[in-house]
A and B are shown apart, each in its own frame.
Chain A
Amino acid sequence: MSEPHGVREYLLAFADDEHLMGQQHTEWIGVAPFLEEDLAVSSIGQDELGHAALLYELVLDLEGVEATDLALDALAFDRPSHGYRCCHLVEYTTNDWAEALVRHWIYDTFEAMRWQLVAGSSLPKLASVARKALQEEAFHRRHADALLDKLLDAPEARDRILEALGAVYPLVEGLCEPVEGEAAAMSAGMAAASTADLLEPLHQAIEARFGRSDSIGSRTASLQNRQNRRTTRSADFDPLLQRMREVLDYDPGAVW
């Protein structure tokens, strides 16, 4: 795979993860456990969508397309489902707040590591976005950690959190799955190491956070086959994309 194509795939996977994670946060505003949490989740959601927008802009840069709202939205919303490069963890649809919190912690832990990999990227704009994003990620992690510190100490809440971890855990490996073309992107100096190299540190961070529990006793190796280098979508994706596109599809010629 050529370097430019590899770079595009690499950025797209990053952007799609951020986009869908931000999208998942938007579902919680107004229905989180208390008002402060409504406010926090909407801030974090805005940050993730903002990262997605900046990363999509970099993809448009590569294509020589000006990053207008229309061009950005065409890239963010108008691809066929097989054209997306997100992982299944961010596609996962849940109305369980414990699962949402555990995913938030895992995703942001991974995301901080991922931004570190590109902090010295040969793409100056990406390195600059990484510096901004890393500052925000520190707040995201602090937010999730503060909640987990307390919830893991309370017996009933601990059970719920570990049960949620069990539900989300099989999707963790896919978070670290690279796209086809990542090697080409790396030889172009895009990132300091492969996304796959984050899997072991992420596992260690999860064990340090949640302890060694039955929930994470068995690591699954099957997910990489299901994601197929992030080219295959989970069952949750199509309904999610449909929901995101509902207004856009109402009148494809419209500007909103």
Chain B
Amino acid sequence: MARSWATMEDFEAFLDDGGLVEADDPMPDAYRQAVFAFIEMHANSELMGGLTERDWIPKTPGLRHKMAVLAKTQDEIGHGHLLYMVAADLGVKTRVEMLEDLFAGRSRFHNVFHYRAVTWGDQVAIAFLVDAAALISQQAVFKNCSYGPYKRILRRIIAEEGFHMRLGEDRMLRIAEGTDRQRLMFQESLNRWFWPALQLFGPDSESDDVLLRWHIKSERNEVLRDRWVQRFVPMLQSYGFTIPAPDMRWDAVTHRWDVGPIDWEPLKRTLAQGGPDSSRRIREAAGSWSRTAWVRAALSADLSDNGVADNCAGNGSTSTGGS
């Protein structure tokens, strides 16, 4: 059913009343662009997360274990697949344009996937800490998300991310109860991944954040970050691991952990594609994409029906994602 809003005030009143915007609604362009950029970055991050994990999938210790890990990464790429379709329906870029922007370094993905998993312990840290951070963020978006198609996809994504986090927790527990070498490996992974995982939530939200005003996000970054800290700091400590935050302290008044000052420079570098593994990650993804261009070209007539090969030769559009 066609709906329209005469002014931005009308539209915002609709959102404040809990209204859900659908893809064919004549939404204000600023809203369309903001929702699109947010979903595009989410889609890119699911895909790049899968690429971060794939470095270790063939080395997974154990046959049944490998099947579980493969299923997890399949879910992540499946989330990317669904999200690219939801994003493409907004009419800002096609799926191929989004992928080509990603592989050309023109659009963003989450900071954590600008780092390399250098040990198996890192793979477990990602499945546990990073997936938990992503889950906390996604739950908060889902709770009150004003864009209907995204909210519906998030319901499924959140259910699957919950399984991933439990898989990560189970693997982390085996390590925690394991040998000295295993525990040392995970401690080193924690040293590498604690801060990037915490920085995933971003700096404190601005007071005029349109994502909050338009109910794309429902909670402020600092609230979500604190939720993660209060949950994972005591849990990791209870398993005998050390949180790599020398200034961290327990606030006896609020009964909360305070991790101390956060250095946002590493996050800023990843946003500028200057993270520790950004160039390799993007270069390798672009290389795979380019080496298989002949397949997409041969299948283009079939693929274009669902947007895969639309404008295969296109060089993307001007907009960059990010939130």
Q: Which residue numbers of A lie inside 8 Å of B, CB to CB?
A: 19, 22-23, 26-27, 29-36, 38-39, 42-43, 45-46, 49-50, 52-53, 56, 69, 72-73, 76-77, 97, 147, 150-151, 153-154, 156-157, 160, 243-244, 246-248, 250-251, 253-256
Contact = CB atoms under 8 A, between A and B. Distances in A.
Contacts of A73: 61-63
A243 B66 CA distance: 13
B77 A35 contact: yes
A26 B295 contact: no
Interface size class of B (residues with CB under 8 A): 35 or more
16 contacts: A29-B57, A29-B73, A34-B303, A38-B50, A39-B78, A45-B70, A46-B71, A46-B74, A73-B62, A153-B298, A154-B297, A157-B295, A247-B60, A256-B120, A256-B171, A256-B175
B120 A250 contact: yes
B299 interface: yes
B295 A72 contact: no
A107 B207 CA distance: 59
B59 interface: yes
Q: Which of B64, B171, B293, B308 has its CB near the most chain A CB atoms (within 10 A)?
A: B64
Contact of A97 (B61, B285, B295): B295
Contact of A150 (B47, B182, B302): B302
Contacts of B284: 31
A90 to B, nearest CB: 14
B288 A31 contact: yes
Given A154-B298, A251-B178, 6 more contacts: A31-B288, A34-B296, A42-B74, A76-B63, A97-B295, A255-B174
B80 A35 contact: yes
Chain A interface main SS type: helix
Contacts of B84: 35
Interface in B30-66: 47, 50-51, 54, 56-66
B62 A30 contact: no
A156 B298 contact: yes
Given A39-B81, A49-B67, A256-B61, A97 B292 contact: yes
Q: Which of B58, B293, B297 has its CB near the most chain A CB atoms (within 10 A)?
A: B58
Nearest to B84: A35
Interface in B191-246: none
Given A250-B120, A256-B171, A29 B47 contact: no
Contact of A156 (B57, B181, B294, B308): B294
Contact of B74 (A19, A23, A43, A251): A43
A227 to B, nearest CB: 24
Contact of B67 (A29, A53, A246): A53
Contacts, number: 147
A69 B70 contact: no
Contact of A244 (B58, B178, B294): B58
Contacts of B47: 30, 35
Nearest to A96: B291
B179 interface: yes
A22 B120 CA distance: 20
A29 to B, nearest CB: 5
A205 B157 CA distance: 41
A150 B298 contact: yes
B63 A33 contact: no
Q: Which of A32, A33, A39, A156 has its CB near the most chain B CB atoms (within 10 A)?
A: A33
Contact of B54 (A30, A50, A151): A30
Nearest to A38: B77
Contacts of A34: 292, 295-296, 303, 308-309
Contact of A247 (B59, B288, B309): B59
A210 to B, nearest CB: 16
Contact of B179 (A53, A247, A254): A254
A39 B72 CA distance: 11
Nearest to A45: B70
Contact of A151 (B64, B70, B299): B299
Contacts of A43: 74
A26 B50 contact: no
A40 to B, nearest CB: 10
Q: Which of A22, A42, A56 has its CB near the most chain B CB atoms (within 10 A)?
A: A42
Nearest to B296: A33
A186 to B, nearest CB: 27
A23 B57 CA distance: 9
A151 B298 contact: yes
B90 interface: no
Contacts of B73: 29-30, 42
B282 interface: no
B136 interface: no
Contacts of A32: 292
Contact of A30 (B51, B296, B299): B51
A41 to B, nearest CB: 9
A50 B59 CA distance: 17
